Structure 1
Amino acid sequence: MPRLIDRLPNDDHTNGWSALLPARTPRPSLVGERDFDWVVIGAGYAGLAAARRLAALQPGKSIAVVESGVAGENASGRNSGFAIDLPHAPSTSAASVEQGHRAIRVGRFALAELERLVRDHRIECDWERRGRYHAAVTSEVASKVLDTYASNLRAWGESYEPLTRDELEGRLGTRYYHAAIYTPGTCLMNPAALVRGLADSLPPEVELFENSPVVEVEFNGPSPFVRTTTGRIRFGKLILAVNAFSASFGVFQDRQIPVLLFASLTKPLTPEQQARLGTDASWGITPAHGVAGSTLRLTADKRLLIRQGFDYSPSLTTNDARRDAARAKHMDLLARRFGHLGGSLDIEHFWMGWLAVSHNHAPAFGQVSDNIYAAACCNGAGIVRHTAAGILIAELANGQRSELTDDFLVQGTASYIPPRPIRDIGVHLTLMRERASGRHEI
């Protein structure tokens, strides 16, 4: 029976990353009746990786990628631009060490693939292997979180560098953080530019339709199809790669929690402000307290980025009052860290985006119906995890399951979450507890 899609991504044209880029002409929308062997819904990291892998596995087959908006404008182009090669392990145990080894293999596989594509296709996205500072504001969180992380890094055999407040000031230009652990493998970039480049370098077997929101699907029966506002595709097999919007398609409805995040990007710092920063030409900070803390970057063009605000968003919407509050909070947090630079730290771009998390931090992944496969739920590491997920779901849809697939699913798949309103109560209580425990880490 056909299903109408009740919620669609709504590009509010505020994405700061894409606002820095030159104009791009989107690919044409889907018009009329078409037939394809394969359809991929979603042109984010997972969807583009899946389409590229399908083209390699199925030469001569027709492949369509259907994107509701424009490549780089939805969630995949709105993150903080960290391609992280290492997992976040909250505890130290034999199981977490083994899971970490396997997660690292997946992360480095995806990172190497992205680096190859950036190099081979000359994707201009400010791609830099700058590493990452995992930072704690207070000594309490440093002892609890960073010490555990260091123990895991030693168990994994990974190189890292512990840094004190004074050392961080020398590198980053702020004394705000009590301590951090630096690891060298993370790559930083403009994520909107990366997604654009990945979309524009798809193999010739792949036809990308932009500005083509899917409004109806028929996954079963003798003639499955997807319908957009201006066209329809009959297909043989389909891969769904729309992350938090999977529930609109009746997929993973009780397996993932939509989360809304806010980000701001300042105007370029003045030469005088830059002179008061540290020795690192650009850098990225991830918070030791993942819910309450703030993600920050100094970009290649000398802007400060901050992402802070972690809201449960079951309706996949927000309002102006919440946006205004988040923007004001960003201004305050930037001033706390970098007020000593002098002058003003004016926010030039402010935006929001959605990701999905699961209760057990495992991906939503696998076959969901006859000839229908889906990958979602990046748990906050979308660039590498969803790149890997797209490649692996394409292989699974072709009857291939590799050792890397087993590594990717080392924690299983996303666990069951009770329905609303029980879910709402549980999530709100969890967020209240996490925000209270991290109130000094913002």
Structure 2
Amino acid sequence: MSPAAAFTAKGLPKPSPGVCGWVALLPPRAATQPLEGTATADVTVIGAGFAGLSAARRLRELEPALSIVVLEAGVVGEGPAGRNSGFIIDLPHEVSSEDYGGDSLRKSRDHVTLQRRAVDFAKDLAAERGLGREVLDPRGRYNLALTAEGDRHLSDYAAQLDRLGEAHAMLDAAQVAGVTGSTAFTSGIYMPGTVIVQPAAYVRALADSLAAPARLHENTPVTAIERAGSGWRVRAPKGSVESPRVVLANNGHAERFGLFRGRLLHVHTYASMTEPFDPARLGGDRAWAATPASPMGTTLRRVTGPDGDRLLVRARYTRGPGLDVGEGTLRRAGALHDAKFAHRFPMLSGVGMQYRWGGAMALTRNAVPAFGEVEDGIFAACGCNGLGASNATASGLAAAEMLAGVETPLTRLYRGFAGPAAFPPRPLTLIGARATLAFRAWKAGIE
């Protein structure tokens, strides 16, 4: 570790484009007061998404008397966490297809252990807070194919799940139609361990579960982290907090503080949600959630509500030169969503998209978290690698346990991760990332 004296933010978070349907469907949130003046705490948490709030709640479980201050740049649920698709998965999207000699099988099982810890944490929160199925639904997920290549991928994936000893069920086209109401799909796998959340409502519930002496300040972007004696002073526009320990849980924005420089790839993904429609127009189950056979394919969810049902469509990934994207990119993604929706659900012709939005995520080159004690007393829980609800939750839990000096299966896994590898120089990374995303999108095709 370098003896850094300060980390100053090179820019503050900006809102992602569009209107997030998850937020729009909820009553407006009464945000907590921004930080003003000077404060002290045992731990300061930067970021109130899946990672930061999970870390704060876990710290409260481990040390109830600990004073914790959580600082959120915006309003809880309105940032990237609330723009998530809401899958807290227990099985990876991709199981290694390498020869199942010991190391490959162990790595896959390690990821299952990590992600299942996030699922269990979410279930515990739901039980404690009395969250209904409209917020957290333990219904599992489907993985769906539309092409012969997708069918082969699912068949291979099922064989790998067999090797792992994980429960799943294969579905033929008729069975998938019985679930989705659509004959567009050719096969599917059902996996029972995933929980589905309304992400904005879930992170709100997670924030509201924090009890004194923990406190949350929204609309409080952090501008600098400075050494203060043997600890740290975290500065915001109208105040500061001094604490010996800091949890940095702001994902890609960690790079704006000079941390993990050149080791995070900033990617945006996009979603659209339909206006409500009469449930009688679409057969099948009225609530289901599906990831695609191809990782770059299309995620779908059917959502029930008091005014009818809606469908969410998530597809398209972009990499720009910075952390922010504009409305034009969102419009282009929306056109793709419309085409995919029309192909899968022609019986819903005339049903339009009411909400469209983008959301940011951070990837590492070697698909490991940007995690660990980056300075004496500063613990990073960043780099979700595209599985924000699962991986960010687990990273927050692991950071809290390490900070508290508690050894768990999760901390042992995180200690075993290599650090994030460096990307090539920025121009090459930008060109390479755009080419890779374009190629994978082309390869996914209609999936």
Q: Under a length normalisation based on structure 1, what TM-score does the superposition of the two structures give? A: 0.93
Partner of 2:389: 383
**Hey, what does 1:2 align to over in structure 2?**
6
CA contact (8 A) 2:303 2:310 kept: yes
Task: Kindly indicate whether residue 61 of structure 2 is the aligned counterpart of residue 61 of structure 1.
Answer: no
Tell me if structure 1 keeps the 8 A contact 2:292–2:298.
yes
Distance 2:46 2:355 in 1: 29
Match of 1:70 in 2: 75
Letter in 2 for 1:417: F
Query: Mean alpha-carbon deviation: is it higher for 30-39 or for 189-198?
Result: 30-39
CA contact (8 A) 1:363 1:409 kept: no
Question: Is it true that 1:261 corresponds to 2:266 in the alignment?
Answer: no
1:34-433 aligned within 5 A: 34-87=39-92, 88-92=94-98, 93-94=100-101, 95-124=103-132, 125-143=134-152, 145-219=153-227, 222=230, 224-273=232-281, 276-278=282-284, 280-291=285-296, 293-301=297-305, 302-342=309-349, 344-408=350-414, 412-433=418-439
Deviation at 1:403, TM superposition (A): 2.6
Task: Kindly indicate whether residue 15 of structure 2 is the aligned counterpart of residue 11 of structure 1.
Answer: yes
Larger deviation, residues 38-47 vs 353-362: 353-362
Please state whether the residue corresponding to 2:41 is helix, strand or coil: strand
Cα distance in structure 2, aligned partners of 1:187 and 1:306:
18
SS at match of 1:368: strand
1:151 Cα deviation from its structure 2 partner: 1.6
RMSD of Structure 2 on Structure 1 (CA): 1.9
Residues 12-37 of structure 1, C-alpha deviation per residue, up to 9 Å, x if partnerless? 57221011112221111000111222
For 2:35, the equivalent position in structure 1 comes to 30
| Rounded Cα–Cα distance in structure 2 between residues aligned with 1:353 and 1:45 | 14
Q: Distance in 2 between matches of 1:134 and 1:428?
A: 26
After TM superposition, give the deviation of residue 409 of structure 1 in Å: 5.5
Q: Tell me the CA shift for residue 98 of structure 1.
A: 1.5
* Residue pair 1:142, 1:179 contacting (<8 A) in 2 also: yes
Shift of 1:376: 0.9
Q: Cα gap change, 1:415/1:390 in structure 2, threshold over 3 Å: closer, same or farther?
A: same
CA 1:253–1:220 in structure 2 vs 1: closer, same or farther (change >3 Å)? farther
Query: Which sections of structure 1, spanning at least 5 residues, go unmatched?
Result: none
- Rounded to whole Å, the distance in 2 between the matches of 1:54 and 1:120 is 17
CA deviation after TM superposition for structure 1 residue 411, in Å: 5.0
Compared CA separation, residues 41 and 438, structure 1 to 2 (3 A): same
TM-score normalised according to structure 2 size: 0.92
> In the alignment, residue 357 of structure 1 is paired with which amino acid?
L
Select 2:26's aligned residue among 21, 35, 43: 21
- Indicate conservation of the 8 Å contact 2:273/2:355, yes or no: yes
Deviation at 1:198, TM superposition (A): 0.5
The one-letter amino acid of 1:174's match is: S
**Aligned residues of 2:96 and 2:108 also touching (Cα < 8 A):** no
- Aligned residues with identical type, % of pairs: 37
Report the residue type matching 2:219 in the other structure: N
Shift of 1:326: 1.2
What SS class does the counterpart of residue 316 from structure 1 fall into?
Answer: coil
Deviation at 1:312, TM superposition (A): 1.2
Q: Distance in 2 between matches of 1:159 and 1:165?
A: 20
Cα distance between partner residues in 2 of 1:358 and 1:429: 17
Provide Cα deviations, 1:43-99, integer angstroms capped at 9, x if missing partner: 011101111122233343321000000111101111111111112214142333221
- Inter-CA distance 166–366: structure 2 relative to 1 (3 Å threshold): same
In 1, Cα distance between equivalents of 2:325 and 2:110: 37
Per-residue CA shift, 1:118-166, capped at 9, x if unaligned?
11112355321221111222112321x2122112110111121112222
CA distance in 2, matches of 1:62, 1:126: 28
Deviations for 1:241-270, whole angstroms, at most 9, x for unmatched residues? Answer: 011111011122232211101111111221
Return the letter of the residue paired with 1:202. L
Q: Given that residues 103 and 408 in structure 1 are in contact (C-alpha distance below 8 angstroms), is that contact kept between their aligned partners in structure 2?
A: no
CA shift for structure 1 position 334: 0.8
**Alpha-carbon offset, residue 367 of structure 1:** 0.6
Which segments of 5 or more consecutive residues in structure 2 lack a partner in the other structure? none
Contact 2:370 2:419 survives alignment (8 Å)? yes
Residues 212-258 of structure 1, C-alpha deviations (whole Å, 9 max, x = no match): 01122215765621111111112211010011111011122232211
CA distance in 2, matches of 1:383, 1:362: 15
Question: Distance between the aligned counterparts of 1:96 and 1:406, measured in 2?
Answer: 18
C-alpha contact 2:45 2:246 (8 A) present in aligned 1: yes
**Alignment partner of 1:176: what SS?**
coil
